[in-house]
Every structure is written in structure tokens, then in C-alpha cells.
Amino acid sequence: MIETSNSVIIHIRGGDLKDLNWVTNLFFYQNAVHKMETILGKDLVYYVFTNDPELSHTYLAKMPKRTYHLISETYNFNSMEEFSLMTYGKHFIYALSTFSQMAGWLAPYKRKQIISYTSSHMVDSN
């Protein structure tokens, strides 16, 4: 399903980053969804991966009204299985996380769009 749809992988990382006050803010995700739809249109399917389901639910409730498939909570995958699934995505919105960055860069889809949060600003790359 991820590989065959016009998929956007969203990685919301909380957990240990909360203690460091480095959590990617909601505003970034809201803007990233809008920007992704401006670039690619609205025919997108969103798959959310997270290490913090509570934070993800809070964010998703305030995001643009779309269908978000919360993979990390729905299935009982280990980290490597989630990483592997993420690489099947076509486009990526990712947090301050090398885990999601590597999945995005290793994904084979040639025309992928990546919106990345680094430090305190957004970086686009493709």
C-alpha cells in the first residue's frame, strides 16, 4: 500500500527529544503538509511513523484534515521493520532525526520530495 500509493511518510519524533527540548514543532508539520500538497497536489496518502504516539495524536488533531495512517501504533513493528517500511515511501516529511532522514534518502523513488526539519528551520531538497 505504501509503495503503490502517492505516499508521504511523516516521522514525528518525541520521546527522548522532549527531555532535550528538541521536539519538532507542530507548525513545521502543518506547513510541510501544505507545502507538499502545493508541490504534488492533494492526491496524497499520509503514513505516520513515531516513537511517541501521544504527541502524534496531539499533532494530528491539529493538522490539516486528511487521512493519516498511524503505522507505529497500528502495528507492532520493531525499529528495523519500521525503517524498512519507511523506505517504500515516495515523499517524506521528517523530524530532527537521522533515522527518518536515512530512510528518506535510501528510498528508491527517483522523483521524491523531502521536507526536513533541521535545527530551527525547514530545508527542502529533492
Give the CATH number for residue 68: 3.40.50.11350
Contacts of 30 (CB under 8 A, 6+ apart): 62, 63, 64
Q: What is the pLDDT of residue 124?
A: 43
pLDDT at residue 122, as a whole number: 41
In a domain, 1, yes or no: no
Residue 55 is assigned to a structural domain of this protein = yes
CA dihedral 63→42→83→58, nearest 10 degrees, is: 10
Residue 43 grid coordinates: 492526491
Contact 49, 10 (CB under 8 A): yes
- Mean pLDDT for the chain? 86
Residue 125, pLDDT > 60, answer no
Residue 92, domain member (yes or no): yes
pLDDT digits (tens, 9 = 90+) for 18-65: 666 777 888 899 999 999 999 999 999 999 998 888 888 999 999 888
11: containing domain: 7-125
Residue 88 lies in a domain: yes
Q: Is 104 a member of any domain?
A: yes
Q: Is residue 54 part of a domain?
A: yes
Tell me, yes or no, whether 57 lies in a domain: yes
Number of domains in the chain: 1
pLDDT tens digits along 91-107: 999 887 888 889 999 99
Kindly state whether residue 2 falls inside one of the protein's structural domains. Answer: no
> Sorting pLDDT into bands at 50, 70 and 90, what band is 17?
low
Q: What percent of the chain has pLDDT over 70?
A: 88
Which pLDDT value is given to residue 87?
96
